[in-house]
Structure 1
Amino acid sequence: MTSRRFLISAWPWRAAAYALTALPVLGVAALLLSPLILAWAATVSFAADGRFHLPVLVITAFLTLALGGVGTVLAAPFAALERRRLRLADPRPVEPGHRAAAGLPWLAARYGEPGAWRELLYLLLLGTVAPIVYSLLAFAAFVVAVFIVSPLLVFKDGTDLDGVADTIVLGPWQVTTPTQAIPYLLLGLALLPVLAYLTGLLAAGHAAIARRLLGRGDDAALREVARSRTRLVDAFDAERRRIERDLHDGAQHRLTSLTLQLGVARLDLPEDTPAAQALDRAHTEAKDLMVLLRDLVHGISPQTLADLGLPAALHDLADRSPLDITVTVDPGVADRYPARLENTAYFAASEALANVAKHSGATAASVRLAHQRDTLIVEVHDAGRGGADPARGTGLTGLADRVAAVGGRLLLSSPAGGPTLVRVELPCLT
């Protein structure tokens, strides 16, 4: 929801679908819990008046104990349905909180596992708190809808078929003609984005609670692992930039000075002396070492990526490759992305092309850069021998870990005989 592309993405529609499909679930849960809710409401009402009605107390206690006895069993189908429905708002899988499949009988797991009691708590929230919150959202949607259709609720001349003024009331104001309803129509259209964000907020909150109560409860640990892995990647990038800076500002400059001094010294010696031949070899090796060091520095932190952005860096990578590389940049791809995203995409393409050159036997490859919705995509395709296997140490496992550290994923298609397609998908919310 923090993305500037939220309103033009699929997420408002997914949030609306999640909210709409919640309504029948809330209705069934509220109906199922209505006897207990009414009993507790009566008990609280009598207690507020300073009275205690014994039959009401007995009924409330009985229903509460009954819910404790069979509630975890009743909550099971709701929990299973909500885990499936959760995919509308959160595509990540949710594992059940109980471990019946690990050897504990199902019925015993319904009473002996904390996850089953969390499912019961979720059912109670569905039948009590959720209907109130969703009712408020439904009321807001109704108000916005009335504003938008208000010109259609009054006749063109302000009277109905009987000659009586047709009036609608919008808050403290009365509208009798379509012209008077135009400001409300504009207000309703202006409130549509607000309604979309409210729906997204409700769906996000509902999904977060569902994931917390219906999952294994280890999401916090997983998030911390993901954050620590991201911090490691950031620290690695920072260290790589430091090494590049030290090599560029220190070793490379000193090697350049040494090469110049060797060239000047060579000019002072006769052509046919042994010292001149030795200086020639030293000068040549120094120049070769300068080229090697420059390539090393470029591989550690490409200057083109830092200065011109990802598309330009991919074209530069293709020019420097020994293969015939075709780079395609789809429309909609921006020149600049966050540094972490650019680094990951660039080095994913670099590693994939290195694998093509070393293992595929292909003489050509293609690189495609695309931006679809909230995802930055890098594809590397070659028509080599195929059969790429991460277990062979081709760097794909490390590449997949690096991609996963920024929340992305790597997909590989490499049947025997080729072709091979490496696809990297990186979440891009800017």
Structure 2
Amino acid sequence: MGGLGGRERWGEPGRPGFLRTAAPWRAALYLAVSGTAGLLLCAGLLLAGVAAGVLAVLLVGVPLLAALALVGVPYAAWERRLLRVLGGPGVPGPHLVPGRPGLPAWLRLRYREPATWRELGFTLLAAFVLWPIDLTVVGCALVVPGHLLAALPLLVLDGEQVNVLKLWEVHSPPVAALAGVGGLLLLPLVAYPLTAVAAGRAALVRLVLAPGGQERRIGELVRSRARLVDAFEAERRRIERDLHDGAQQRLVALAMTLGLARLDAPPDGPLAARLAEAHREAGEVLAGLRELINGIHPQVLTDRGLPDACADAADRSPVPVDVGFDLPGRLPRPVESAGYFAVSEALANIAKHSGAGLARVDGRYADGLLTIEVSDDGRGGADPAAGTGLTGLADRVAVVDGTLTVSSPPGGPTLLRVEIPCTPTDR
């Protein structure tokens, strides 16, 4: 079995020194714990099934029956962790993370996942088939040699006789001593079948409860996307910082130098006109660079958060914009970035295409969901296929598991809504 590390490999029980390892004892503990858990599970499922069946007449038991379908989720997680008793790592879970926080989203995803029903099937197998096998094997492997080993001490304590395994009456200490020797010799022999059964059961757990190929690929895609988002945001902040602290400061210094040179040049000469032109060009380049920095990652978003950054974007919009936010605090950086650029792109579209006289930006956070709405009183008719940037904006929001919806009937008004599941941070 590949679940063990170091020298204790369950695929090699016949190798020299196997009996000196902890593998047989771990196998016995694994089967004893899994068998006991299966017995308790069996009793619990029988009681819950009877109760749900009785209450189903009054319709009260229907939710209980629906909940029983999910009993495999926690039990399978327990079985995966229990594999660590054998000395190796547990098995990762196959379940995806819900796109939104909250119990309803979790339930919808769990009922739709094939892994949930695989886990339910294994749970029923463990509750009604596997636990008797587990306890029988570990009982025979430990109880029989244990009884033989205890024959002489029990005879000494009783003084007359001892019933070995309830089958054999022993009255003589030498016979009891021979039984103990037999138990001592039998103990290492049962280690091999005990370990083989434990290895087979662990293999079944890995086969049924480990993520399948498609689930592993989906999980890796989700994790890689999260890593790419974090790396992308970090790179945006680095570029913004380098431009802000490097090129922008040099342009400011150049503009100041040109301004001072204009003061020293003759006011009516050709040099003054050329310096004035150069000063004006430096100012325009500086203004363009500032716009570029804001387009990459505005400093106000990093320093003060999403509401102030959106208010700054609204101040730079040629269309009057009312801004209102109700947030509990700072949100994760990728979420703030996606929300800000959604607002910026929406305001740019309003200025270019809507003919609106007034726009509004509203943001709120409730039940683990950030909702941003951008509305205007323009002519409407916004079409994502018409090159307005809505398709790219939807892709940007989707990177953080968000959704974008647009309502823009001809004649207006237009409403763009962004919803992103997230949790406030402490920063």
- TM-score norm. by structure 1 comes to 0.53
Please report how far the alpha carbon of residue 381 of structure 1 lies from its aligned counterpart in structure 2 after TM superposition. Answer: 0.6
- 1:227 equivalent among 207, 223, 226: 223
Query: Which residue of 1 is the match for residue 357 of structure 2?
Result: 363
Listed as ranges, the matches of 1:225-374 within 5 Å are 225-330=221-326, 333-374=327-368
Secondary structure at 1:91 match in 2: helix
Secondary structure of the structure 2 residue equivalent to 1:89 = helix
Q: 1:25-424 residue pairs with structure 2 within 5 A?
A: 89-92=106-109, 124-125=121-122, 127-129=124-126, 218-330=214-326, 333-424=327-418
Q: Is the 8 A contact 2:338 2:397 kept in 1?
A: yes
SS at match of 1:219: helix
C-alpha distance in structure 2 between counterparts of 1:124 and 1:232, whole Å? 37
Q: Could you tell me which amino acid in structure 2 is paired with residue 280 of structure 1?
A: A
Q: Is the 8 A contact 1:96 1:216 kept in 2?
A: no
1:216 & 1:324 partners in 2: Cα distance? 54
SS at the partner of 2:330?
Answer: coil
Q: Residues 84-137 of structure 1, C-alpha deviation per residue, up to 9 Å, x if partnerless?
A: xx977333497797xxxxxxxxxxxxxxxxxxxx898566346455799xxxxx
Aligned-partner residue type, residue 89 of structure 1: W
Distance 1:256 1:96 in 2: 58
For 2:385, the aligned partner's letter is A
1:301, CA displacement in angstroms?
A: 1.8
SS at match of 2:260: helix
CA-CA distance at 1:219 after TM superposition? 3.5
Give the direction of change, closer, same or farther, for the CA distance of 1:223–1:358 in structure 2 (3 Å limit).
farther
The 2-side partners of 1:324 and 1:20 are apart by: 57
2:13 corresponds to which residue? none
Give 1:411 deviation, angstroms: 1.4
Q: Can you give the 5+ residue segments of structure 1 that lack an aligned partner in the other structure?
A: 1-18, 31-85, 98-117, 133-208
Alpha-carbon shift at residue 221 of structure 1 (Å): 2.1
Which position in structure 2 is the counterpart of 1:177?
A: none
* Change in 2 beyond 3 A, CA 1:262/1:233: same
Return closer, same or farther for 1:390/1:216 CA change in 2, 3 Å cut-off.
farther
Higher gyration radius (CA): 2
Matched residue SS, 2:108: coil
Secondary structure of the corresponding residue to residue 90 of structure 1: helix
Deviations 1:267-291 (A, max 9, x none): 2221111121111111111122212
User: 2:69·2:120 contact (CA, 8 Å) conserved in 1?
Assistant: no
Give yes or no for contact 2:397–2:420 (8 Å, CA) kept in 1.
yes
Equivalent position of 1:149 in the other structure: none
The aligned amino acid for 2:121 is L
Contact 1:26 1:131 in 2 (8 A): no
Pair 390,269 (structure 1): closer, same or farther in 2 beyond 3 Å: same
8 Å CA contact retained: 2:407, 2:416 = yes
Instruction: Call closer, same or farther: CA 1:23–1:131 in 2, change over 3 Å.
Output: farther
Cα shift at 1:216 = 9.3
- Contact 2:405-2:418 at 8 Å conserved across structures: yes
Verify the 8 A CA contact 2:377 2:414 in the aligned structure 1: yes
Superimposed CA distance per residue, residues 172-193 of structure 1 (whole angstroms, 9 cap, x where no aligned partner): xxxxxxxxxxxxxxxxxxxxxx
Inter-partner Cα distance in structure 1 for 2:248 and 2:106: 52
The CA deviation at 1:334 is 2.1
What CA distance in whole angstroms lies between the structure 1 residues aligned with 2:274 and 2:248? 22
**What is the root-mean-square deviation of aligned Cα atoms in Å?**
3.5
Q: Which moved more, 1:263-272 or 1:215-224?
A: 215-224
Cα distance, 1:336–1:130 mapped onto 2, change above 3 Å = farther
Aligned pairs, number: 256
Q: Aligned pair in 2 of structure 1 residues 130, 238: CA closer, same or farther (>3 Å)?
A: farther
AA at the equivalent of 1:267: L
Percent of paired sites with the same residue: 51
Conservation of the 8 A alpha-carbon contact between 2:407 and 2:414: yes
Structure 1 residue identity aligned to 2:293: V
C-alpha deviation, 1:424, in angstroms? 0.7
- Taking the aligned partners of 2:117 and 2:260, their CA distance within structure 1 comes to 85
Matching residue of 1:24:
65
Residue 395 (structure 1) shift: 1.6
Separation in 2, partners of 1:27, 1:337: 36
| SS at structure 2 position matched to 1:425 | strand
Runs of 5+ consecutive residues of structure 2 not aligned to the other structure: 1-59, 72-102, 130-204
Distance 1:21 1:119 in 2: 19
Q: For residues 219-261 of structure 1, what are the alpha-carbon distances to aligned partners after superposition, in whole Å with 9 as ceiling and x for unaligned?
A: 3322322332232222222221121112112111111111112
What's the TM-score, normalizing by structure 2? 0.53
How many Å apart are 1:371 and its aligned residue?
0.7
Give the distance between the partners of 1:29 and 1:347, measured in 2 at CA. Answer: 40
* Closer, same or farther: CA 357–93 of 1 in aligned 2, 3 Å: farther
